[in-house]
Amino acid sequence: MKKKIGVYLGILLVIGTFISPPFHGYLLFFFMNGLVLVNAVIIYHNLGISSRYLDDILGISVIALSQITVTQLYPGLFGYLSLTQVVLTQMGCLGLTLIAVWIRWMRLPDWQACLTRGQMAIQEATGVCSSHVVGVIACVVTGFAFVFVFAVSALNPPIGIDGICFHLMQAVYWLQTGYIPIKLEVAFAYPHGNPLVYLWGLYPFHHDFIARFTQIPFILLGVFA
């Protein structure tokens, strides 16, 4: 009985924390990414490309990142880029996918099978880790160093020329104006994809803390690839 009461109190504490105003941005960020991730999983499942775990991770990530960039780029080209529009667009994308499922053009994943595959992947990873202890220790140490560097960077103002003069500057400009110019300036002739991912991290907070970490998925995808 005491254990259940402790669990209930913990749940209430978490809920109370997240509904407080300082955490509204995080809730919105989780909601935005949740919509994209669910849509990407359903679409990838219907492609039926591969059954390997790493292929699943890469495929779902590519679909999710493509949706994030495209659903910001095209509204921005017409001057309708805003947080409300972005959230509604993600809801619309998922809604269209669910309609396709409803009319039997697509199928929902078997969530129980997905859970089973996830458990199998964890078991395989555990087996690999137990047989390569030195490699795991090296990865853990490298991971801690990596997290420390990113944390220090995120808690301090940006100082890199590339971030100040291109990546963050472009994303902040689009956030303020709601418009992405079709004609790129000579000094900013790179593709829009990377700043659009930065912009995705700026929406809920109007701060670059989360935006600093938007490169981590690309680094992890590079490791998996």
> In degrees, to the nearest 5, what angle opens at C-alpha 66 toward C-alphas 153 and 166?
40
Average pLDDT (164-184) is 79
**Whether 105 contacts 222, CB under 8 Å:** no
Question: Distance (Å, rounded) from C-alpha 225 to C-alpha 219?
Answer: 10
Encode pLDDT of 10-41 as tens digits: 676 666 666 666 677 778 888 899 999 999 98
From 177, 161, 157, 162, select the one nearest 76 (Cα to Cα): 177
Question: Distance (Å, rounded) from C-alpha 166 to C-alpha 91?
Answer: 30
Question: Distance (Å, rounded) from C-alpha 71 to C-alpha 177?
Answer: 17
Give the model's confidence band at 114: pLDDT under 50 very low, under 70 low, under 90 confident, else very high: confident
Give the model's confidence band at 174: pLDDT under 50 very low, under 70 low, under 90 confident, else very high: confident
What residues does each domain of the chain span? 25-224
Residues 6+ away with beta carbon under 8 Å from 108: 42, 45, 101
What is the rounded average pLDDT for all residues in the chain? 78
Question: Distance (Å, rounded) from C-alpha 189 to C-alpha 179?
Answer: 17
Task: Quote the distance between the C-alpha of residue 98 and its chain's center.
Answer: 21
CA distances 90 to 47, 64, 155, Å, are: 20, 11, 29
Q: Looking at the predicted structure, is the pLDDT value of residue 188 above 60?
A: no
Question: Distance (Å, rounded) from C-alpha 197 to C-alpha 170?
Answer: 11
Rounded (10°) angle between helices 24-47 and 53-77 = 120
